[in-house]
Amino acid sequence: GPNGAGKTTLLNVASSYLFPTKGTARILGEQLGGVGTDVFELRPRIGMAGIAMAEKLPKRQTVLQTVLTAAYGMTATWNEDYDPVDEDRAKAFLDRLGMNDYLDRRFGTLSEGERKRTLIARAMMTDPELLLLDEPAAGLDLGGREDLVRRLGRLARDPYAPSMIMVTHHVEEIAPGFTHVLMIRQGKVLAAGPVETELTSRNLSLCFGLPLVVERLEDRWTARGLPLK
């Protein structure tokens, strides 16, 4: 959906850090605010990567430290003793996202694409059942975007990977392996369902308020506006 549609707000509800003012929200079988639901037990089951998290992380930490601290629910190192298994897992997630050569680089010196990949590796450290990605390709150049989309596609197709929800403005960022789409306009659901049936020119035009053409090229999507008359 467009800016201000409510995408990030909905993602914050899905992360359990924002409660709905009306209706109910069920996440991983738990109802927010419901009897017997402990959000402090629910939150470790949810991984989240986005700009808000990046701003909380110390810029002087190394890439490896930035990912490792997630194992204890921290944003910065203190006096924790990390188990070798934690270091091995952090390195494995970073390697999977193409960051194995950056373990000792300071987080603040990374490019935007490298930072986004580090945040996704960090979000995976708690073995989440649900992975939330808030505009992971925002600010990336074409090469950085395509590299990230390729890696997200590989992750999405992994049968052992968590369920993934990604917020985006651009259909070109939808990686192969993502199966469903939710379109939001002015805080209301405009369309929801399988990508193949709901990601249409009509729905996207209604969502953004101008005539658009959606096309599928193999396992990727593109959208363009119609010429002005």
Candidate CATH numbers 3.40.50.300, 3.30.70.1400, 3.30.1380.10, 3.20.20.70; the one for domain 7-173: 3.40.50.300
> Binning pLDDT at 50, 70 and 90, where does residue 227 land?
confident
Q: What is the pLDDT of residues 42-74, one digit of tens each?
A: 988 999 998 888 888 999 999 999 999 888 777
Mean pLDDT on 149-172: 94
> Binning pLDDT at 50, 70 and 90, where does residue 76 land?
confident
pTM score above 0.75: yes
> Binning pLDDT at 50, 70 and 90, where does residue 108 land?
very high
Token pair listed for 120? 């996704």
Mean pLDDT on 161-167: 95
How many of the other CB atoms lie within 10 Å of CB of 155?
A: 19
Map 95-147 to HEC letters: HHCCCHHHCCCEHHHCCHHHHHHHHHHHHCCCCCCEEEEECCCCCCCHHHHHH
Mean pLDDT on 114-126: 93
Instruction: Tell me the domain boundaries of the chain.
Output: 7-173, 179-229
Position 147 scores a pLDDT of: 93
